[in-house]
């Protein structure tokens, strides 16, 4: 009976559509064809003594008829739809319009809203939504997109983080009213459909399976949907499946491309880092190795010709070069430990005055004389990792001594502020340009040319940044060209 009813309804709909199309053609003839014919006859009458003008007028009217007849037929069709069988729609024509919307739109949100709005306007639905579950969006949440006249201006609505619902996992068409009062399969889903004001839920499938669910509300003026409407919605779901599948696939491929681009960038940075390591290491190791080789050869070949004092001086140069090599290796090993995350903190209470004096005494006598320590009396002790705080301060002081004139002091200051403790390292060098400040904490960044300062790997401030991040210390740089530079460490 149901099949017979559906077939009969389709036949009746076809007849009514044919009647309405015929009525539209008659309206076109009355509203457009008759006035054009009357105008043609008028030209023939008034221009019968001027054959050339008559021919020109006829051709002009023919061109106008060819140009405006499609628009006239469209206008007549819309007028006929309002006059005759206003609830009727042409399924083939509407599906063609929906397909045009999908093929001309790249954004899934815009495409689904436009298509569902168009379908709702023709079917008289209060809402038509597409629910794309989290499985299909690859973990980006449940998307519910479509037309709902209650929720937003213009009827468009979307929720890209919708809560889970059993309706989103349906694998078959489900009607809110199946002719049973209660119980039966999917009764919980039907209860939720009635609560949401939905009449039907239809699966949206691609070749691999379900990717979404079409949620349809009842008609606003004509009650429940009939088999003809459900047939249209099933075909709408097929076209929506292709559109959604293409969008999700292109989004996935784009995300994979972006991930590959990030990996390529990281590999390039790693390769650049290795190149910089080779360049800087070869430069830094050359000088101490040259000294070691030179003085060792001198002692081997001319040991008997050197006085005790000269031999002692050669050994001091050799020891200094060994210390320099050891410092370079320690710096690279420390950077490697930070990059691997192989770092363990050991926090303790640190007296800042004692710490700064210890730092000062670790430098050679000629450098120690240039370091000034100022600790305000109100500055309390702090709790942090002592060794890493020393590492930060040592690198900052080394930089300050290197880039300050030999006669100028470097000042270490510790003071209490409203937000904690501030340690400052100030030099009296040439300062840093404002545009260069953002780069100084990157590895192998050296603002001076290699032949100007013959020491330094370009990793000192990079280590400062990594150690400060580890300890939760904020680093601020205050510098003016010609006025020196001050590094502030803000301890929490």
Query: Does 216 have pLDDT greater than 60?
Result: yes
Q: Is 112 exposed, middle or buried (0-12, 13-18, 19+ CB in 10 A)?
A: buried
pLDDT at 451: 37
Query: Does 335 have pLDDT greater than 70?
Result: yes
Q: Which residue has the higher pLDDT, 19 or 324?
A: 324
Query: Does 25 have pLDDT greater than 90?
Result: no
pLDDT at 452: 45
Mean pLDDT of the region 72-89? 63
Q: Which residue has the higher pLDDT, 436 or 385?
A: 385
Placement of tokens 């340690």 in the chain = 423
Query: Does 88 have pLDDT greater than 80?
Result: no
Who's near 286: CB < 8 A, 6+ residues apart? Answer: none
How far is residue 333's CA from residue 169's CA, in Å, rounded to a whole number? 54
**Structure pTM?**
0.50
Query: Does 446 have pLDDT greater than 70?
Result: no
Q: Is 373 exposed, middle or buried (0-12, 13-18, 19+ CB in 10 A)?
A: middle
Among 209-213, 234-238, 340-344, which stretch is predicted with the lowest mean pLDDT? Answer: 340-344
How far is residue 143's CA from residue 196's CA, in Å, rounded to a whole number? 16
Among 43-52, 198-207, 414-423, which stretch is predicted with the lowest mean pLDDT? Answer: 43-52
Mean pLDDT of the region 399-411? 87
Return the HEC string of the chain: CHHHHHHHHHHHHHHHHHHHHHHHHHHHHHHHHHHHHHHHHHHHHHCCCCHHHHHHHHHHHHHHHHHHHHHHHHHHHHHHHHHCCCCCCCHHHHHHHHHHHHHCCCCHHHHHHHHHHHHHHHHCECEEEEEECCCCCCCCCEEEEEEECCCCHHHEEEEEEECCCHHHHCCCCEECCCCCCCCCCCHHHHHHHHHHCEEEEEEEEECCEEEEEEEEECECCCCCCCHHHHHHHHHHHHHHHHHHHHHHHHHHHHHHHHHHHHHHHHHHHHHHHHHHHHHHHHHHHHHHHHHHHHHHHHHHHHHHHCCHHHHHHHHHHHHHHHHHHHHHHHHHHHHHHHHHCCCCCCEEEECHHHHHHHHHHCCCHHHHCCEEEEECCCCCCEEEEHHHHHHHHHHHHHHHHHCCCCCCCEEEEEEEECCEEEEEEECCCCCCCHHHHHHCCCCCCCCCCCCCCCCCCCCHHHHHHHHHHHHCCEEEEEECCCCCEEEEEEEC
Query: Does 17 have pLDDT greater than 60?
Result: no
pLDDT at 437: 79
Mean pLDDT of the region 210-221? 87
End-to-end CA distance of the chain: 80
Query: Does 195 have pLDDT greater than 80?
Result: yes
What are the beta bridge partners of residue 144? 131, 159
Computed over every residue of the chain, the mean pLDDT equals: 81
% pLDDT > 90, the chain = 17
For Cα atoms 128, 234, 10, give the angle at the middle one, nearest 5 degrees.
Answer: 110
Query: Does 40 have pLDDT greater than 90?
Result: no
In tens, the pLDDT along 217-226 reads: 887 765 566 6
pLDDT at 461: 85
Query: Does 184 have pLDDT greater than 80?
Result: no
pLDDT at 86: 54
Mean pLDDT of the region 441-450? 59
pLDDT at 275: 73
pLDDT at 84: 56
What are the beta bridge partners of residue 460? none
Among 283-287, 324-328, 421-425, which stretch is predicted with the lowest mean pLDDT? Answer: 283-287
Q: How confident is the model at residue 285 (pLDDT cuts 50, 70, 90)?
A: confident
Placement of tokens 């190791």 in the chain = 285
How far is residue 209's CA from residue 200's CA, in Å, rounded to a whole number? 20
Q: How confident is the model at residue 91 (pLDDT cuts 50, 70, 90)?
A: confident
Q: Which residue has the higher pLDDT, 203 or 177?
A: 203
Query: Does 316 have pLDDT greater than 80?
Result: yes
Q: Sheet of 371-375: strands edge to edge?
A: 371-375, 410-417, 420-426, 485-491, 474-479
**Highest mean pLDDT: which of 67-81, 154-168, 272-286?**
154-168
pLDDT at 134: 92
Query: Does 263 have pLDDT greater than 60?
Result: yes
Q: Chain centroid to CA 121: how far?
A: 35
Say how many C-beta atoms besides its own lie within 10 A of residue 115's C-beta: 25
Mean pLDDT of the region 415-431? 87
pLDDT at 181: 41
Placement of tokens 């989290």 in the chain = 134
Mean pLDDT of the region 62-89? 70
Among 79-88, 308-317, 430-439, which stretch is predicted with the lowest mean pLDDT? Answer: 79-88
Q: How confident is the model at residue 292 (pLDDT cuts 50, 70, 90)?
A: confident
Query: Does 182 have pLDDT greater than 60?
Result: no
pLDDT at 180: 44
Gyration radius from the chain CA atoms: 42
Mean pLDDT of the region 263-282? 76
> CA dihedral in degrees (67, 96, 130, 249; nearest 10)?
-100
In tens, the pLDDT along 96-152 reads: 999 999 999 989 999 999 999 999 888 888 889 999 999 999 888 999 999 988 775
Cβ atoms of residues 369 and 361 within 8 Å: no
């Amino acid at each position: 009976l149901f099949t017979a009813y559906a077939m009969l309804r389709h036949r009746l709909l076809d007849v009514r559509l044919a009647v309405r199309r015929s009525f539209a053609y008659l309206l076109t003839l009355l509203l457009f064809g008759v006035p054009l014919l009357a105008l043609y006859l008028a030209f023939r009458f008034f221009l019968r003594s001027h054959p050339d003008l008559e021919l020109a007028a006829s051709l002009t009217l023919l061109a106008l008829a060819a140009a405006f007849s499609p628009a006239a037929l469209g206008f007549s069709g819309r007028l006929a739809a309002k006059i005759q069988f206003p609830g009727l729609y042409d399924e083939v024509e509407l599906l063609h319009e929906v397909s045009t919307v999908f093929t001309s739109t790249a954004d899934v949100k815009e495409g689904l809203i436009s298509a569902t709005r168009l379908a709702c306007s023709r079917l008289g639905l209060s809402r038509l939504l597409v629910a794309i579950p989290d499985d299909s969006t690859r973990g980006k949440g449940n998307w519910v997109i479509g037309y709902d006249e209650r929720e937003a201006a213009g009827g468009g609505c979307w929720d890209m983080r919708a809560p889970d619902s059993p309706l989103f996992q349906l694998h078959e068409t489900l009607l809110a009213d199946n002719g049973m009062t209660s119980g039966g399969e999917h009764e919980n889903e039907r209860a939720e459909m009635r609560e949401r004001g939905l009449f039907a839920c239809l699966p949206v499938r691609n070749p691999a399976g379900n990717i979404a669910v079409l949620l349809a509300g009842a008609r606003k003026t004509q009650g429940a949907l009939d088999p003809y409407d459900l047939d249209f919605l099933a075909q709408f779901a097929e076209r929506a499946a292709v559109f959604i599948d293409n969008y999700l696939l292109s989004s996935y491929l784009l995300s994979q491309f972006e991930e590959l681009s990030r990996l390529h960038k990281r590999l390039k940075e790693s390769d650049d880092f290795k190149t910089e390591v080779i360049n800087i290491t070869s430069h830094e190791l050359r000088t101490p190795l040259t000294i070691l080789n030179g003085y060792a050869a001198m002692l081997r070949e001319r040991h008997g010709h050197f006085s005790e004092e000269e031999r002692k001086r050669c050994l001091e140069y050799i020891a200094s070069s060994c210390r320099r090599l050891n410092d370079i290796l320690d710096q690279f090993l420390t950077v490697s430990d930070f990059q691997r995350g192989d770092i363990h903190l050991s926090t303790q209470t640190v007296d800042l005055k004692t710490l700064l004096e210890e730092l000062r005494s670790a430098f050679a006598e000629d450098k120690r004389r240039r370091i000034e320590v100022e600790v305000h009396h109100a500055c309390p002790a702090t709790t942090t990792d002592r060794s890493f705080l020393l590492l930060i301060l040592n690198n900052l002081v080394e930089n300050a001594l290197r880039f300050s004139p030999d006669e100028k002091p470097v000042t270490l200051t510790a003071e209490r502020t409203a937000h904690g403790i501030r340690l400052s390292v100030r030099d009296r060098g040439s300062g840093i340009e404002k545009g260069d400040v953002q780069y100084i904490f990157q590895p192998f960044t050296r603002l001076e040319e290699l032949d100007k300062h013959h020491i330094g790997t370009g990793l000192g401030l990079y280590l400062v940044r990594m150690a400060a991040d580890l300890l939760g210390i904020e680093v601020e740089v205050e510098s003016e060209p010609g006025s020196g530079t001050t590094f502030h460490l803000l301890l929490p």
